[in-house]
Structure 1
Amino acid sequence: MEREVLIVGYDGATLLDVAGPVDVFDGAGQVCGGYRVRLAGLGGGFAVTAGLRMRAEDLREVTGPVDTLVVVGGQGFTRAAADAELLAHLTRLAATARRVASVCTGALVLAAAGLLEGCRATTHWAYCAELAAHPGVEVVPDAIFVQDGRTATSAGVSAGIDLALALVEQDHGAALARLLARWLVVFLQRPGGQSQFSVRSRVPPVREAGLRAVLDAVVEDPTGPWTVERMARRAAMSTRHFARVFPRRVGLSPARYVERVRVEAAATALESGDDGLDVVARNCGFGTAETLRRAFSRVLGVTPGGYRHRFRTTGAA
């Protein structure tokens, strides 16, 4: 049975958000005839990255039903989420679709259409807080993709490939999904989550200059003895006040923030060098390789050795 996949874009969409799922579903269709991929936008074609323009059907003329409705992300998502006509057509098509999915900030467009209410969902790490502001959406900030019933959302940009592979696996089994992953030279199930991306950049903006100074200082010197007392002194706060304010502003306890910064430093060392785990652990503030292993598993969901094997740069000695 051929399943119809409708991928919806808009001006300002990211090219890879479109191309990743298209290549996965179209590749699966070529192997087993299981999918027909269509591209649509309000009024027809739409502009994507670097001024390129995608040829597409006019969304107004798509009558459905479609099997899988996919909304992509991109810098134009804010305008798309405010476009009442676009949202109305998404709601219309979603009503009869077997499943509804999004790539990256496409989740915010789905949320604006009310299609994520009561659902667990994710999006690009930089926009998780914005997604959480929509009522009834439970955001899973560290996930590469989240499936909740007939709704599926993915993290930033390339995560649309991960999600599409997972949907193909559900429809046609792991063998086909694995074949497509090998052909695209990607992981069938990539290790870790969005926590592997910059800790400091994912912290919400904080007003207090003292707190900002502490956050930056830990990043600059992850091996330092960052006790709550020392951090409080750096922030020019009492220890008690600092311990109360830090989690409210940052979203993490001081200890968890320090741990994540150190994991990030260790990840960089593992990607670019060949030092043993004991050396990496000492150089990044963990002390022992075992402490490093526990922190990596807790934060990234992968062992240090597994991380190095998958992400080591080709320029490493």
Structure 2
Amino acid sequence: MGSAPTADPRVVVIVAFPGVLGLDVVGPLEVFAMANRFGARPAYATSVVSMTGGMLTASSGLVIGTEPAGTIAGPVDTLMVAGGYSTRQAADDLDLVRWLAGTALSARRVTSVCSGALLLARAGLLDGRRATTHWSVCDTLASHFPSVRVETSRVYVRDGDVWTSGGVTAGIDLALALVENDHGPALAMAAAREMVVFVHRPSEFPQISAQLAVRRPLREPLRDLLALIAEHPDADLSVPALAHRCAMSVRTFSRVFHRETGTTPAAFVQASRLQTAQRLIKASEATFEDIARTCGFGTVETMYRTFQRVLGTTPGQLRGQPRGGSEPVIERRRNP
């Protein structure tokens, strides 16, 4: 990527194609627009392009107006490639691939959302770099482009001036990270709050939350219980206490929970607490004592041992090493 001077405003070009995922385009667009609303200076000037220009239809049926890619003139600050179920077909468009490679030379940074990483790789822009993509195509990226070091569990990955993100909503996290990189955390947080983003996930946060890593229970009391565990990790989440909330015996509760979610209550509680702790460690300045208490570990020593046993790292290493990261680990034990 080039070292072109920062445009004023910052020109953001989002690349789309027929069948693109609409949220891959619209999510980042809204983040940049919200940043402008909260006073980003220089502001962002966004455009959506395709090879032919005109109206194209996203996979959801949303019709998106685009400019012809060839009409983009002047320095591009941020080149962003969206993804979608038709990414592989788009990667066969040699004109698009050549345009990406050429435009990237003068762009300050190059980014992708979701499976858009396949297009970057096709253009040779990920050679020798760390990258991520939607979890479902990580293996495809790794097998078709072996020079790319694929990191499967990350929401987004930055390798120098190339940023890649996981699937769909991770594009919002990526755009917020770009805003933070340009204008600082206060403006990015203001944009996130206005967009009612549940949490601005740091790079190391896994693509799939602990709640999504298990089967959705059929019983409403169990669904409510999963939400309670996520929202109140500091509560009494022992198996007897959880069984009492569901008006079941411990044995019946353990059996039903395992049958409907595929894991044990203790394993799910541990995964949820670990994930909350990871987020707080990376995204806040709270002390380890406060985090251990907030996340239900009780003591720093207990949290430290759990991190080492399950994640193979420590809270201190996680806070001090921005390239760390791991997926939620939920043990799938046989029900006793």
Q: For the superposition of Structure 1 and Structure 2, which TM-score range results when normalised by the shorter chain?
A: 0.5 to 0.7
Question: Is residue 233 of structure 2 the alignment partner of residue 193 of structure 1?
Answer: no
> Residue 32 of structure 1 aligns to which amino acid in structure 2?
A
Say if 1:270 and 1:304, in contact at 8 Å, map to a contact too. Answer: no
Which residue number in structure 2 is paired with residue 14 of structure 1? 21
Which residue number in structure 2 is paired with residue 184 of structure 1? 195
Counterpart among 203, 226, 230 of residue 270 in structure 1? 226
Which residue number in structure 2 is paired with residue 167 of structure 1? 178
CA RMSD of aligned residues (A): 3.3
**How much has 1:175 moved relative to structure 2?**
1.0
Distance 1:294 1:271 in 2: 14
Which residue number in structure 1 is paired with residue 156 of structure 2? 145
**How much has 1:76 moved relative to structure 2?**
1.3
- Change in 2 beyond 3 A, CA 1:296/1:272: closer
Distance 2:201 2:132 in 1: 16
Matched positions, count: 244
Q: Structure 2-normalised TM-score?
A: 0.64
Question: Is residue 88 of structure 2 the alignment partner of residue 78 of structure 1?
Answer: yes
**How much has 1:297 moved relative to structure 2?**
5.6
Which residue number in structure 2 is paired with residue 258 of structure 1? none
Question: Is residue 58 of structure 2 the alignment partner of residue 98 of structure 1?
Answer: no
Distance 1:130 1:89 in 2: 23
**SS of 2:179's equivalent?**
helix
Say if 2:81 and 2:116, in contact at 8 Å, map to a contact too. Answer: yes
- Change in 2 beyond 3 A, CA 1:53/1:270: same
**SS of 1:55's equivalent?**
strand
> Residue 86 of structure 1 aligns to which amino acid in structure 2?
L
Question: Is residue 37 of structure 2 the alignment partner of residue 27 of structure 1?
Answer: no
**How much has 1:61 moved relative to structure 2?**
2.0
> Residue 80 of structure 1 aligns to which amino acid in structure 2?
A
Which residue number in structure 1 is paired with residue 78 of structure 2? 68
Equivalent positions of 1:45-56 (< 5 A) are 45=54, 46-56=56-66
- Change in 2 beyond 3 A, CA 1:79/1:172: same
Counterpart among 31, 37, 48 of residue 46 in structure 2? 37
**How much has 1:298 moved relative to structure 2?**
5.7
Gaps of 5+ in 2: 1-7, 217-221, 244-249, 280-291, 297-336
> Residue 123 of structure 1 aligns to which amino acid in structure 2?
T
Higher relative contact order (CA 8 A, sep 6+): 2
**How much has 1:12 moved relative to structure 2?**
0.6
- Change in 2 beyond 3 A, CA 1:288/1:187: closer
The ranges of structure 1 where at least 4 consecutive aligned residues each deviate by more than 6 angstroms after the TM superposition are 272-275, 285-288
Q: Which of the pair is proportionally richer in helix?
A: 1
Distance 2:94 2:150 in 1: 24
Counterpart among 127, 132, 135 of residue 146 in structure 2? 135
**SS of 2:60's equivalent?**
helix
Say if 1:7 and 1:39, in contact at 8 Å, map to a contact too. Answer: yes
Which residue number in structure 2 is paired with residue 254 of structure 1? none
**How much has 1:295 moved relative to structure 2?**
4.6
Say if 1:99 and 1:151, in contact at 8 Å, map to a contact too. Answer: yes
Say if 1:195 and 1:299, in contact at 8 Å, map to a contact too. Answer: no
- Change in 2 beyond 3 A, CA 1:126/1:169: same
Say if 1:122 and 1:141, in contact at 8 Å, map to a contact too. Answer: yes
**SS of 1:63's equivalent?**
coil
Say if 2:153 and 2:207, in contact at 8 Å, map to a contact too. Answer: yes
Distance 1:48 1:196 in 2: 26
Q: Structure 1-normalised TM-score?
A: 0.68
Percent identical: 42
Say if 2:59 and 2:85, in contact at 8 Å, map to a contact too. Answer: no
- Change in 2 beyond 3 A, CA 1:147/1:295: same
Which residue number in structure 2 is paired with residue 87 of structure 1? 97
